[in-house]
Amino acid sequence: MQDASIINSRDLAFQLFEVLEAGKLTQRPRYADHSRETFNAALDTAHAVAVEKFATHNRLSDEHEPQFDGQRVILPAEVKEALDALRATGFLAAGKDYEWGGMQLPSVMSFACLSLFKSANMATSSYAMLTMANANVIERFGSAVQKRKYLQALFDGRAFGTMALTEPQAGSSLSDLVTSATPNEDGTYSIRGNKIFISGGDHELSENIVHLVLARIPGGPPGVRGISLFTVPKFRVNDDGSLGERNDVALAGLIHKMGWRGTTSTMLSFGERGACVGELVGEPHQGLAYMFHMMNEARIGVGLGAVMLGYRGYLASLDYARERPQGRRPDNKNPLEPQLPLIEHADVRRMLLAQKAYVEGAYALCLYAARLVDEQNTGESDTARAEAALLLDLLTPVVKSWPSQWCLEANSLAIQIHGGYGYTREYPVEQFYRDNRLNMIHEGTHGIQAIDLLGRKVVMKQGAALKLLAREVGGTIEAARAHAPLHAHADALARALSDLNATVDALLPTLASESERALANANAFLEAFGHVVIAWTWLRQAVVASAALAGSTSAADTDFYRGKLQACQWFFRWELPRVALMLSTSRSLDDTTLRMAPQWF
Catalytic residues: 443
* Residue 505: exposure state from Cβ atoms within 10 A (0-12, 13-18, ≥19): exposed
CB of 7: closest distance to its own copies in angstroms? Answer: 14
Which element (helix H / strand E) includes 232?
strand 227-233
User: What is the distance between the alpha carbons of residues 112 and 106, in angstroms, rounded to a whole number?
Assistant: 10
Among 144, 336, 484, 550, binds its own copies (CB under 8 A): 336
Query: Nearest approach, Cβ of 562 to its own copies (angstroms)?
Result: 5
> Which residue among 144, 346, 484, 550 contacts its own copies (CB under 8 A)?
346
Is there binding between residue 76 and its own copies (CB under 8 A)? no
- Smallest gap from residue 442 Cβ to its own copies (A): 7
* DSSP conformational letter for 73: E
Q: Nearest 5°: phi and psi at 190?
A: -95, 120
- Binders of its own copies among 142-171, rule CB under 8 A? 166, 169-171
Tell me which of 420, 462, 550, 554 binds its own copies, using CB under 8 A.
420
> Per rule CB under 8 A, is residue 446 in the interface with its own copies?
yes
Contacts with its own copies in 227-266 (CB under 8 A)?
A: 255-259, 265
Separation between Cα atoms, residue 370 and residue 429, nearest integer Å: 27
Interface positions, 268-307, toward its own copies (CB under 8 A): none
Q: Among 34, 78, 36, 90, which Cα is nearest to 54's?
A: 78
Residue 107 or 404 having the CB closest to its own copies: 404
Query: Which span sits near its own copies by CB under 8 A: 26-34, 126-134, 528-536, 589-597?
Result: 589-597
Nearest approach in angstroms of CB 390 to its own copies is: 23
Does 590 bind its own copies (CB under 8 A)? Our answer is yes
Q: Per residue in 165-203, is it b (16+ CB within 10 Å) or e — as a string?
A: bbbeebeeebeebebbbbeeeeebbbbbbbbbbbbbbbb
Yes or no: say if 238 and 152 are a contact pair by the CB < 8 Å rule: no
The span of 119-127, 485-493, 531-539, 588-596 binding its own copies (CB under 8 A) equals 588-596
Cβ of residue 350: shortest distance to its own copies, in angstroms? 4
Quick one: 117 or 320, whose CB is closer to its own copies?
Answer: 320
Which lies closer to its own copies via its Cβ, residue 36 or residue 322?
322
Considering only CA atoms, which of 155, 153, 141 is closest in space to residue 98?
Answer: 155
Q: Which stretch binds its own copies (CB under 8 A): 108-116, 270-278, 366-374, 585-593?
A: 585-593
- Spell 96-133 as b/e; 16+ CB within 10 A means b: beeebebbbbbbbbbbbbbbbbbbbbbbbbbbbbbbbb
CB of 449 to its own copies, least distance (A): 11
Segment interacting with its own copies, rule: CB under 8 A, options 39-47, 286-294, 391-399, 436-444? 436-444
Contacts (CB under 8 A) with its own copies, residues 352-381: 352-353, 356
- For its own copies, the closer of residues 38 and 584 by Cβ is 584
Q: Is the dihedral of CA 143, 149, 152, 157 positive or negative?
A: negative
Candidates 426, 478, 491, 505; binder of its own copies (CB under 8 A) is: 426
Quote the CA–CA distance of 507 and 577 in Å, as a whole number: 21
Give the contacts of 346 (CB within 8 A, at least 6 positions apart). none
Number of residues this chain uses to bind its own copies (CB under 8 A): 102
Give the nearer residue to its own copies in terms of CB position, either 101 or 253: 253
Does residue 597 belong to the site contacting its own copies (CB under 8 A)?
yes
Q: Which contiguous run of DSSP H or E holds residue 390?
A: helix 382-418
Cβ closest to its own copies, residue 441 vs residue 506: 441
CB 283, min distance to its own copies, A: 20
HSE on the CB side for 140, CA within 13 Å? 16
Could you say which residues in the range 184-223 bind its own copies, by CB under 8 A?
196-197, 222-223
CA angle 522, 527, 532 (to 5 degrees): 125
Nearest alpha-carbon partner for 571 in 478, 483, 445, 486: 486
Q: What are phi and psi of 237, to 5 degrees?
A: -115, 125
In the complex, what is the shortest distance from the CB of residue 21 to its own copies, in angstroms, rounded to a whole number?
24
Of 502 and 596, which has the nearer Cβ to its own copies?
596
Count of CB atoms within 10 A of residue 482's CB? 12
Segment 520 to 539, residues that bind its own copies, using CB under 8 A: 520-523
Q: Tell me how far apart the 2 most distant CA atoms of the chain are, in Å.
A: 87
CB-based contact 234:211 (threshold 8 Å): yes
> Based on CB atoms, which residue is closest to its own copies, 181 or 237?
181
Cβ distance to its own copies smaller for residue 26 or 566: 566
Instruction: Decide: is 331 part of the binding site for its own copies (CB under 8 A).
Output: yes
